[in-house]
Structure 1
Amino acid sequence: MLILNRKQGESLIIDDKIEIKILEVSEGKIKIGIEAPKSVKVFRKEVYEEIREENKKASTISLDSFSKLQGPLK
């Protein structure tokens, strides 16, 4: 993990395409702005983890469900 110190108004550039800018620092909070191409998906970590969990649930099929699907096909 790369750890950097930045002040309000300063930025980071990632891969010549993504800019992360420190917009505001106050009372234990930091407001950041992210500029990235539309092809780059940007999520808050908690939202990303929820999406992953829902995708995992959706992609799991029980053997019982599979057997029920096979019945009408025979």
Structure 2
Amino acid sequence: MLALTRRVGERIVIADNIVVTVVSIKGENIRVTIEAPKEIKIYRGEIYDAIAEENRQAAVPDDVIVLDMFKGLPKEM
């Protein structure tokens, strides 16, 4: 991880084609702009985490979910 200190108007350049610019700072809030090629997806962290969780849940086969319902039942009836 790289931690940088920037002032308003200063930029960070990533891999020659992504530019992050500090636009404003108000209290604990920092506003940035991100210039990147359209094919690069950019998400806020909480949105990315929600998408990743939905993908994990969608990857679990339905039959595994049904079998999990029987885990708490006694082995012999």
In the superposition, relative to structure 1, how do residues 49 and 60 fare at CA in structure 2: closer, same or farther (>3 Å)?
Answer: same
Alignment identity in percent? 37
How many correspondences in the alignment? 65
Q: CA deviation at 1:3?
A: 1.0
Gaps of 5+ in 1: 66-74
Q: Which amino acid aligns with 2:53?
A: E
Q: Secondary structure at the match of 1:33?
A: strand
1:28 aligns with 2:46: no
Q: CA deviation at 1:28?
A: 1.0
Q: Distance in 2 between matches of 1:15 and 1:23?
A: 21
Q: CA deviation at 1:62?
A: 3.3
Matches within 5 A, 1:1-74: 1-63=1-63
Q: Distance in 1 between matches of 2:64 and 2:53?
A: 22
Q: Distance in 2 between matches of 1:32 and 1:54?
A: 28
Q: Distance in 2 between matches of 1:3 and 1:52?
A: 25
Q: CA deviation at 1:64?
A: 5.7
Q: Which has the larger radius of gyration?
A: 2
Q: CA deviation at 1:27?
A: 1.1
TM-score (norm 1): 0.81
Q: Distance in 2 between matches of 1:11 and 1:47?
A: 24
